[in-house]
Amino acid sequence: MDTRLANHLLWRLRHRAESDAIDHAVERGILVEKLRTSEGRKVRTFTPGSAVAGKSEAEILRLVQHASSAGSRSGRAAEDDEYGIAMEALQSSAGRGAKGLRKGSGTARSFAHRLPDTANLLRAVRRSAEPLRAVDVATMLLVAQSITMSATPFGEVLEALRVPSPIMTVTGRVAGFEEAFLDLLGRGLILPGIVAACKGYNLVRDGYGLRFAQVSDDPRWRVVTFRGQDFEAGDEQQAERCVAGAARSVYPILGVTESDDRLPELLRHAARINLTCGPIDMGIIRETLRAVLGEMPETGIADARASVLVLSDLALAIRPGTSVRRALDLLDDLARMRLASTEADKRDVSGKDFARRSSGTTASKTVRGTPGSGSERIEPAAVTGSEKNRFIPRVETLTGYGEAKEWALALKDDLALWRAGTLAWEDMSTKILLSGPPGTGKTQFAKALCNSLQIPLIASAVSVWLEPGYLGDVLKRMSAAFAEAEAAKPAILLIDEIDGIGKRGASGEWTSYWDSVVNRALELLDGAAKSDGVIVIGATNNPDAIDRALLRSGRLETHIPIPRPDTTALIGILRHHLKNDLDSVVASAPPRPAHSADAGIAETAEVRDAGSTAEKWRDPASRRHPAEDTKDNPPW
């Protein structure tokens, strides 16, 4: 890590925190600000304000602390590098090192034996500044690390940044780096002055040319940014057009990503500087602890474990008021949890591969979908009609599904007609929404339909789509699930937890995010309606939370609630699994004590009815569902 650069970047963080504290004090009348010019430079000077007149030292200290904790950001980022502060000039970054990077404890001692003159009051205000955030500190240290890891000397990096329109990329191999880096850049903490960014991938998509983000003050810099989270793999031509559009402008171009493969290759080749940093190591953890908590740990955690930590882990563990020992212990626990989760994922994938290789023809075979889709592909089980196949779920053997079963049996007949060319796909009912409490068998119904229709099931869920978090990745997962079903057609696409898509028009910070997700779902359902061979099943526990547009004609227009099974349905379920053992199980059940004569009579009748039902289903002719009485569905 470049120590000199790290100290400078951390000094900038602390300088901003102190400037914010001073602005809060001015807003509350603790200080009075005046501007003057000294040797051609604007200087902020201060005198005690009316709020501290006649106050005791303890009252002034409480007032200063309250102003710092209750204040908001002043938006003076653009001025921090233009204005000096009189009475106590900030030390240079080279000489200051890491001193003063935390909230001091000597504020009370500043007023111990003297009146609070201007210099001491200003010093107390600075010391009341908010502690640094672990995410900001670690991100700055990663930036300093990138210079060390780069083959380009620091002097050449600075020289490259001095050209009128530089092109550079920064890859931080730590989850959360991209967002944190761009936040610091926009706030004027990496470069001197506020930065207004224009999303490079929007240049061609929106068709509106350069549109820079609105900022609180006049920006000192305007930069076209290409963010890894916005990159769409497989559309390199579109990405190249966006890069070419940015290159025609006069603005600097910056690529920021957490993965090497999430930036256009053309941008990397054109960049004069390509910086790389990460993963987190113990050196970064130590410096973050010192900057936030003011102490250096005597011990640490192994770099192998530290390398799996993400920036949010540091934010959880390294917080003001936490001891260094406690922070290290928590980081170690978080690292172990992440390593264990990674190993579990590896075993899960390995186990599924083994199951796929070793499974026979009588069990449904499950494999993962295409990379990035998050879907699970389930092949139909081979139904031979033998006794050992009776436990394979099929729609014909399900009980308690009511209208859903009728819909499925009608779809089976229609699919045969479609395959024969005598029925058009658009004349079939191929989209359905199943709703009901958890545990009522909505997912089991889709698997049974897969076996009955003898076509593959592509099982996905909204929670799987939302796993990546970034909007671009979420939309790609949604599209990939439909594309996988389209490639396997005729096929069934199950979308579990479909209420998780949400509704459009809700107020809040993430409105545009959820609107985009719903709109993509509408586009995909409309596309499936125009394409033959894809059956769509949506499953939900809360149908009222679904956007009404998803339930309109041509989409999930058929809605069938699935209630909890009643007594008849439960007997059917038991009959399917126990077969000839049902009557003996009923006979061996201990009698339950009746609370009244009527209850005893009702219980006896219920058990007797169950026994008679079992007697009836021992007859092979009685066990057959009418829909099974065909040569394609041999009875058993």
pLDDT at 358: 40
Identify the band that residue 189 occupies on the pLDDT scale cut at 50, 70 and 90: confident
Q: Does the pLDDT value for residue 127 go beyond 90? A: no
Percentage of the chain beyond pLDDT 90 is: 11
**Mean pLDDT of the 71-81 span:** 45
**Any bridge partners for residue 532, and if so which?**
none
Amino acid at 576: H
Q: Domains in the chain, please, with CATH?
A: 3-130 (no CATH), 135-277 (3.40.50), 282-342 (no CATH), 366-561 (3.40.50.300), 567-628 (no CATH)
pLDDT at 342: 66
In angstroms, the CA 126 to CA 148 distance is 32
Structural tokens at position 76? 């003076």
pLDDT at 390: 66
Q: What is the separation, in whole angstroms, between the first and last Cα of the chain?
A: 72
pLDDT at 73: 44
pLDDT tens profile 271-323: 888 888 888 989 899 999 999 998 888 788 887 788 889 999 999 999 988 89
SS3 630: strand
In angstroms, the CA 9 to CA 288 distance is 12
Identify the band that residue 191 occupies on the pLDDT scale cut at 50, 70 and 90: confident
Where does 428-470 have alpha helices with state H?
442-453, 462-465
In angstroms, the CA 89 to CA 283 distance is 30
Percentage of the chain beyond pLDDT 70 is: 72
Residue 52 or residue 357, greater confidence:
52
CA dihedral over 504, 509, 510, 512, signed as positive or negative: positive
**Mean pLDDT of the 432-457 span:** 86
pLDDT tens profile 2-33: 688 889 889 989 988 888 888 888 888 888 88
For residue 518, how far is the Cα from the chain centroid?
Answer: 17
Q: Which residues contact 477 (CB under 8 A, 6 or more apart)?
A: 372, 373, 374, 464, 465, 467, 468
Amino acid at 491: A
Average pLDDT, the chain: 75
Residue corresponding to tokens 């609105």: 214
Length of the chain: 636
Identify the band that residue 622 occupies on the pLDDT scale cut at 50, 70 and 90: very low
- Beta-carbon-side half-sphere exposure of residue 149 (alpha carbons within 13 Å): 16
Q: Is the peptide bond before 164 cis (omega within 30 degrees of 0)?
A: no
> Nearest Cα to 390, choosing from 377, 400, 381, 378?
381
pLDDT tens profile 135-183: 999 999 999 888 877 767 777 778 877 888 888 899 999 999 999 998 8
> Nearest Cα to 339, choosing from 287, 286, 301, 300?
301
**Mean pLDDT of the 414-419 span:** 90
Residue corresponding to tokens 């902020």: 44
Q: Is 3 left (phi over 0), alpha (psi -120 to 50) or beta?
A: alpha
C-beta separation of 174 from 310 below 8 A: yes
Residue 90 or residue 632, greater confidence:
632
| Range of weakest confidence among 23-37, 408-422, 475-489, 581-595 | 581-595
pLDDT tens profile 506-562: 666 677 788 888 888 888 888 776 778 899 999 988 888 888 888 888 888 888 888
Identify the band that residue 592 occupies on the pLDDT scale cut at 50, 70 and 90: low
- Beta-carbon-side half-sphere exposure of residue 553 (alpha carbons within 13 Å): 2
